[in-house]
Structure 1
Amino acid sequence: MRKLILIVAGLLGWSLNGYAADPVWLQGKTAQSYEITVYRSASCGCCKGWIDHLKAHHFTVKDIVANDVNAHKQRLGVPLKAASCHTAEVNGKVIEGHVPAQDIKRLLATNSDIRLLAVPGMPSGGPGMDTAGARKDAFTVYSMDSQKRISSFSHYEGY
């Protein structure tokens, strides 16, 4: 029964016991290493936690400590309402905030018009915000396409 639950969770990209399951349709690509550039402030600990999360999911991280992360957000077209503490670029896509690695992989596995994934703010319990004993808030990963249409990409209840 547990094996069936893990298979279904993997197919849906769900997280079990705090461990994000890569969907089965991505398993052939999980060993692939994507290069991602992360712009962050030197003083932000949760950004370092998110980078560790990416590395654990086979991302090669170029870590750029910036005096003004907002300049990168503006250059990359991150809407003010989508802002979080760090911004990243991967394969021509923009990632804002504590987006789970499996969502980034799912985006990269498609040929969609989505140009941005964002988790606004800093929800407790999300990747990089998941220190021991941290509250696990629900959060939504939003997408924005090239026409600037906003949609819900995924939603997590207690990541």
Structure 2
Amino acid sequence: MQDGISTNRRGLIIGATHAFTALALAGTAVAETLPKMIVTRDPNCGCCGNWVEHIKAAGFPVDVVQVNDVMPLKARLGVPEALMSCHTAEIGGYVIEGHVPAEAVKRLLIERPKAIGLAVPGMPVGSPGMEVPGQAPQSYEIAIFSADKHHMFARYRGLQQI
């Protein structure tokens, strides 16, 4: 009887170890295979280019589309006027509007909430792409939005979630 219990316990521990390893490896695979992001921006916007570099540095493959007027795309994708910023990105079925940190985009892709996307309205100093030497980063909110509402997804200061 003692051997039966020992065998079951050993099997349970081995099974749990295999499950944990599989989950850990799956998390690593997701992090290494980020989906491609398509960023639409005005060719004359320097901060948009800086944000694209931030996103690339975080491991996202990026295609950049330069247009003189991004507003028709924002309207077609359902970005609320109050949340608009200077560039718009599409990734994994979501819209990313403005200077959203790469870590927030990764969280969105992992959690997969029902939403159109994320937005950082305006151009807060210290947000990715809006770093200003000698100026402390501002606190800012990242909104998650759908067709009829939006609420806070995260709060950041610079690249740090607060």
TM class, shorter-chain normalised?
0.7 to 0.9
Matched residue count: 134
In structure 1, the residue matched to 2:21 is none
What CA deviation, in whole Å up to 9, does each residue of 1:102-145 have, x standing for no partner? 11111111231022100000000010112433431110000013
Counterpart amino acid of 1:57? Answer: A
Q: Does 1:136 align with 2:134?
A: no
Which structure would you say has the larger Rg? 2
* Structure 1 residue 92 displacement after superposition: 1.0
Structure 1 segments (4+ residues) deviating >6 Å: none
What CA deviation, in whole Å up to 9, does each residue of 1:11-60 have, x standing for no partner? xxxxxxxxxxxxx9x96233223200001001100000000000011111
Q: Does 1:148 align with 2:148?
A: yes
In structure 2, the residue matched to 1:89 is 90
Bigger mean CA offset, 86-95 vs 133-142? 133-142
Identity percentage of aligned residues: 41
Query: Which structure shows the bigger proportion of residues in helix conformation?
Result: 2
Q: Normalising by structure 2, report the TM-score.
A: 0.77
Q: Is the 8 A contact 1:34 1:58 kept in 2?
A: no
Alignment of 1:51-66 (within 5 A): 51-66=52-67
In structure 2, the residue matched to 1:32 is 33
Query: Which structure shows the bigger proportion of residues in strand conformation?
Result: 1
Q: Is the 8 A contact 2:78 2:116 kept in 1?
A: no
With over 3 angstroms needed to count, the CA separation of the structure-2 counterparts of 1:98 and 1:148, relative to structure 1, is same
Q: Normalising by structure 1, report the TM-score.
A: 0.78
Counterpart amino acid of 2:40? Answer: Y
Unaligned runs of 5+ in 2: 1-23
Determine helix, strand or coil for the equivalent of 2:151.
strand
Matches of 2:27 and 2:126, distance apart in 1: 25
Q: Is the 8 A contact 1:38 1:63 kept in 2?
A: yes
Unaligned runs of 5+ in 1: 1-23
Bigger mean CA offset, 129-138 vs 105-114? 129-138
Matches of 1:27 and 1:55, distance apart in 2: 20
Determine helix, strand or coil for the equivalent of 1:72.
helix
Counterpart amino acid of 1:39? Answer: T
Matches of 1:84 and 1:128, distance apart in 2: 12
Counterpart amino acid of 2:37? Answer: I
Bigger mean CA offset, 60-69 vs 126-135? 126-135
